[in-house]
A = this chain, B = another copy of it.
């Protein structure tokens, strides 16, 4: 049975769970903001649904809630850091803040962090940057899960990335994608719904194109968008993250307790890039130009939703009406709350969460 929870209850609850798990107050607030933003997108995964897994990793000593993020290298507007196996949400918040600062100083900034963990999604970070007048990009590598241009075994991550830019439309233009046709999350949803997939999206265990999302998940492989094109973009993202950031590369395994070699435990390397719009033109002029582009597109084809539009509308609904969470998720979160001495999460009452002031 799902329950409705107001964001005004959920976000402080997340902040308290993170703080009680060992994060500093400031870090817990930053991480709670990332969970808030990702949950408001209304996607239903890579949001608060991922929090129990993170809390478990921290509890089991596999992820560091109080990382000493340290500078590896840098010159001018580019910097690399070691994330000390901290939560991706925390390490990437740091990376985007650094990129924003570098962009303030140099017009553009790039900050890469190795030894990091899963970051949920790109949009929370890029939209933070866009709210500050930057064009923000966030890239992440993953371990190899995607086939080559013509299929075959997994040779590279599906390396998600996103960008966000201010517009005059009340929401940022915001893309958040992986470079395979479908994420495993999406395949699971389609399988549950009994929906077929286009045959070029994936291969089955015998290497053949298949329209069955279950076959792709069971020993098959997801395919890069546009074959060699998505494959090449995935390589670019590996270059811009783990290769320049000296993180784990392609199949390199993370350090284990008994390892004497690599000291890197976090599989992920992420890179934040910010471009200070005012370095080139007034932000108002930029917003007007973005909106001019959106208007041209939608006047030509009214069916098109531009990236970020759907998730913005979702966020308004979730702000006002709360978010629908699975009872099992609430139970798991409240188990952690009990262990950590945090007051449990209460479902919303019959009143709306917020009075919509729009």
Q: Counting CB contacts under 8 A, is A292 at the interface?
A: yes
- Besides the contacts A112-B280, A244-B277, what 9 more A-B pairs have beta carbons closer than 8 Å? A74-B107, A74-B280, A77-B106, A77-B107, A108-B108, A153-B300, A173-B235, A228-B307, A233-B233
A68 to B76, CA, bound (A): 30
* Chain B residue at minimum C-beta to C-beta distance from A80: B280
List of B residues within 8 angstroms of A149 by Cβ:
304
Q: Is the CB of B290 within 8 A of A250?
A: no
Oligomer copy total:
2
- Nearest 7 CB-CB pairings of A with B: A225-B226, A175-B232, A75-B279, A78-B107, A76-B107, A76-B106, A152-B301
List of B residues within 8 angstroms of A275 by Cβ:
78, 110, 244
Minimum Cβ distance to chain B for residue A288 (Å): 10
What per-residue 1/0 map shows which CB atoms of A82-94 lie under 8 Å from chain B? 0000000000000
List of B residues within 8 angstroms of A74 by Cβ:
107, 279-280
A112 to B108, CA, bound (A): 13
Q: Is the CB of A78 within 8 A of B280?
A: yes
Looking at the complex, which one of B75, B106, B300 makes contact with A280 (CB distance below 8 Å)? B75
A75 to B281, CA, bound (A): 10
What per-residue 1/0 map shows which CB atoms of A216-235 lie under 8 Å from chain B? 00000000011011111101
Looking at the complex, which one of B231, B249, B292, B303 makes contact with A249 (CB distance below 8 Å)? B292
A108 to B277, CA, bound (A): 16
* Chain B residue at minimum C-beta to C-beta distance from A72: B280
Which residues in chain A, 276-314, are within 8 Å of chain B measured between CB atoms?
276-281, 285-286, 289-290, 292-293, 296-297, 300-301, 303-304, 306-307
Q: Is the CB of A250 within 8 A of B296?
A: yes
Q: Counting CB contacts under 8 A, is A177 at the interface?
A: yes
Q: What total of chain A residues lie within 8 Å of the partner, measured CB to CB?
A: 77
Q: Counting CB contacts under 8 A, is A57 at the interface?
A: no
Looking at the complex, which one of B150, B173, B235, B290 makes contact with A307 (CB distance below 8 Å)? B235
A245 to B289, CA, bound (A): 11
Known: A153-B300, A153-B301, A277-B244. A235 touches B293 (CB 8 A): yes
A153 to B299, CA, bound (A): 11
Q: Counting CB contacts under 8 A, is A198 at the interface?
A: yes
Q: Is the CB of A155 within 8 A of B297?
A: yes
Q: Counting CB contacts under 8 A, is A179 at the interface?
A: yes
Q: Would you list 28 pairs from A and B whose C-beta atoms are within 8 A, ordered by A residue?
A: A73-B281, A75-B106, A75-B276, A76-B279, A77-B107, A77-B108, A78-B106, A78-B276, A79-B280, A106-B106, A110-B275, A135-B239, A135-B240, A144-B300, A153-B301, A155-B296, A165-B239, A173-B235, A175-B232, A177-B229, A225-B226, A226-B226, A228-B307, A235-B293, A245-B280, A246-B285, A249-B292, A251-B296
List of B residues within 8 angstroms of A249 by Cβ:
289, 292-293, 296
What per-residue 1/0 map shows which CB atoms of A115-159 lie under 8 Å from chain B? 000000000000000000001000000001001111011111000
List of B residues within 8 angstroms of A200 by Cβ:
198, 200
Looking at the complex, which one of B77, B226, B231, B250 makes contact with A76 (CB distance below 8 Å)? B77
A279 to B244, CA, bound (A): 9
Q: Is the CB of A250 within 8 A of B297?
A: yes
Known: A225-B229, A226-B225. A244 touches B281 (CB 8 A): yes
Q: Is the CB of A152 within 8 A of B78?
A: no
